[in-house]
Amino acid sequence: MIAGAKAPDAGPLPRVRPHATTRTAGGPEEPAPARPTLARPDPFVARLEHVSARISDPAAKLRFLRESLAQKEALDERVQAVPVAPVRHLLQRLLGLDRIQHLLHRRDLQGTAADVAGPATARVSGVAALALVLALAAVAWSLRTAPAPAVVPAPGTAVVPAAAPGSPAPATVPPTQGVRPERIWLVEKSATHELWSNGLRIDTSLVVMGAPRAFRVFDRGRGLQPEVFTEPVGILFHTSESDVWPLDAGFNENLRDSTQRLLRYLRRNTTYHYLIDRFGRVWRVVDEGSKANHAGNSVWADGERVFLNLNHAFLAVSFETRWEGGRALPITEAQFAAGRLLTDQLRQRHDIPPQMAVAHGLASVNPKKRLIGHHVDWARGFPFAAFGLDNAYRVPSPAVELFGFGYDDEFLRVMQEPWPGVRLAEAKLAREAAAAGLTPEALRRQRQELYDAWIADQVRADEARTPVAEDTAPGAGATED
């Protein structure tokens, strides 16, 4: 069926040298690029190219290059698991991984996986992490050129299952290929479960009712608006802060029991609307028409709309994992996949825009101390891009920008540095202060007073329309999450 044909050989071709940096009239809108400079060849890349040049078959060459890079990826994933950033960076430098990051975790032939998510971020915890740090540091030099070491996870260590060699996507990113329904609909419903057309299966056997959802929205310029809403406008992602057992058959009982204990606690306290357990099962804990006690004192904004204390306005989705060592322990591949399906389903059903699905850690505040980051779950490391969401870490922090909140040494001890949105909000605040002829501190105080006034408005409005008021007062008013 395929007729024989051989490609003609191309003759030698002239070489094009870089051009002068002068520009012609009417050139493109982009600024003139700086004259390109060449980097020094990386030793590993140079060796790779040297060996590769000796392979004559193109398919064998491609296989060689990608398998060599896969081994580096495996090593990089283990280094990424080190929870202490300075040690992690040191190891990356020692192992030469920092110089080849652009070549790692991007082997998808369509070039999409790397765009939707960065490298797999397996993290380890506690003693196991320390042991890993020491072991890695001790052998760093000897590992520089060797294939990836086999690091056996210690008990108490949580890891994302590794991808098979040659896997086209990073370990935590399930394949994005295949047909997806244009719309998501309910396929099947029983007393204990729901099946949705995107593959999402929700266990509804444990669902409890809470107080009905009802909330008001603030307008940046006009303050509290009279209209009462009953439909959720956003999603807040949480970590359950519960026990995290290794994904190993030997811990089967612990894995099962700890999830069941957690579910009992969440039902009793109507904490989250959804829990995604370690095996990727999605549990509806609190009925969607009810508020859940998940957000406490919290602030978020979308354009002109400002939301204070998000228990009512936002749906709560919690991953069974724990914040430790300045980041959430890694969720499992199954949790990752289920989280994406649930997010898609909730966003479609409630018409939630991508900028309104955020992490609890980015919204949580301490109103008495005027501080952000009262809770820090997912204040770093949530895979927004892979979930099809805007990167909330780069959104100017509404609590800082609108209400002049700050952070203290404890926050820095945990986070090391604020997420980029905090810096952006601080810069905006400083610009506005300068424009108003105020010091940044004076403007902050003004904005903090505005927060107090708005909260008071919200409490008054809700008291007049009980029973919504229970979680609106600063501090004591907001139900603990």
Q: Of 85, 155, 165, 180, which one interacts with other proteins (CB under 8 A)?
A: 180
Q: Which is nearer to other proteins, 183 or 413 (CB)?
A: 183
Q: Contacts with other proteins in 12-71 (CB under 8 A)?
A: 13-21, 23-24, 27-28, 30-42, 44-45, 47-55, 57-69, 71
HSE-up of 39 (CA within 13 Å, CB side)?
Answer: 7
Is 150 among the residues that bind other proteins (CB under 8 A)?
A: no
Nearest distance, CB of residue 424 and other proteins, angstroms: 17
* Crossing angle between the packed helical segments 58-80 and 85-94, to the nearest 10 degrees: 150
Q: What is the largest CA-CA distance in the chain?
A: 85
Cα 9 versus chain centre, distance:
50
Q: What's the DSSP call for residue 364?
A: B
Nearest distance, CB of residue 72 and other proteins, angstroms: 11
Nearest distance, CB of residue 197 and other proteins, angstroms: 15
Nearest distance, CB of residue 107 and other proteins, angstroms: 7
Which residues are paired to 163 by β-bridges? none
Nearest distance, CB of residue 329 and other proteins, angstroms: 27
Q: Of 84, 130, 146, 280, which one interacts with other proteins (CB under 8 A)?
A: 146
Both tokens assigned to 290: 């009810």
Q: Contacts with other proteins in 156-175 (CB under 8 A)?
A: 166
Is 111 among the residues that bind other proteins (CB under 8 A)?
A: yes
Is 1 among the residues that bind other proteins (CB under 8 A)?
A: yes
Q: Contacts with other proteins in 181-210 (CB under 8 A)?
A: 182
Q: Contacts with other proteins in 112-141 (CB under 8 A)?
A: 112
Backbone angles phi, psi at 327, to 5 degrees: -165, 165
Which residues are paired to 195 by β-bridges? 188, 201
Q: Which is nearer to other proteins, 30 or 409 (CB)?
A: 30
Nearest distance, CB of residue 247 and other proteins, angstroms: 28
Nearest distance, CB of residue 434 and other proteins, angstroms: 29
Residue 447: which of 429, 462, 463 has the closest Cα? 429
Kind and range of the H or E element at 425? Answer: helix 420-436
Nearest distance, CB of residue 328 and other proteins, angstroms: 24
Residue 286: which of 212, 233, 358 has the closest Cα? 212
Both tokens assigned to 199: 């593959």
Q: Contacts with other proteins in 254-273 (CB under 8 A)?
A: none
In angstroms, the Cα distances linking 347 to 179, 230, 344 are 19, 16, 5
Q: Which is nearer to other proteins, 66 or 256 (CB)?
A: 66
Q: Which is nearer to other proteins, 62 or 436 (CB)?
A: 62
| Strand blocks (E) in 165-281 | 186-189, 193-196, 201-203, 218-219, 223-224, 234-239, 274-276
Both tokens assigned to 99: 């110089």
Nearest distance, CB of residue 4 and other proteins, angstroms: 5
Both tokens assigned to 306: 């400002």
Q: Judged by CB under 8 A, which stretch of 104-112, 221-229, 240-248, 377-385 contacts other proteins?
A: 104-112
Q: Of 155, 177, 369, 416, which one interacts with other proteins (CB under 8 A)?
A: 177
* Crossing angle between the packed helical segments 85-94 and 126-143, to the nearest 10 degrees: 20
| Strand blocks (E) in 250-364 | 274-276, 282-284, 299-302, 305-308, 314-319, 323-324, 327-328, 357-359
Cα 299 versus chain centre, distance:
18
Nearest distance, CB of residue 105 and other proteins, angstroms: 9
Q: Which is nearer to other proteins, 179 or 435 (CB)?
A: 179
Q: Which is nearer to other proteins, 43 or 289 (CB)?
A: 43
* 226 in Cβ contact with 213 (< 8 Å): no
* 123 in Cβ contact with 83 (< 8 Å): yes
Q: Of 25, 110, 221, 226, which one interacts with other proteins (CB under 8 A)?
A: 110
**Where do the H-state alpha helices sit in 113-240?**
113-116, 126-143
Nearest distance, CB of residue 342 and other proteins, angstroms: 20
Both tokens assigned to 92: 């990356």
Q: Which is nearer to other proteins, 99 or 305 (CB)?
A: 99
Q: Of 25, 164, 178, 222, which one interacts with other proteins (CB under 8 A)?
A: 178
Q: Of 74, 91, 95, 106, which one interacts with other proteins (CB under 8 A)?
A: 106
Q: Contacts with other proteins in 70-89 (CB under 8 A)?
A: 71
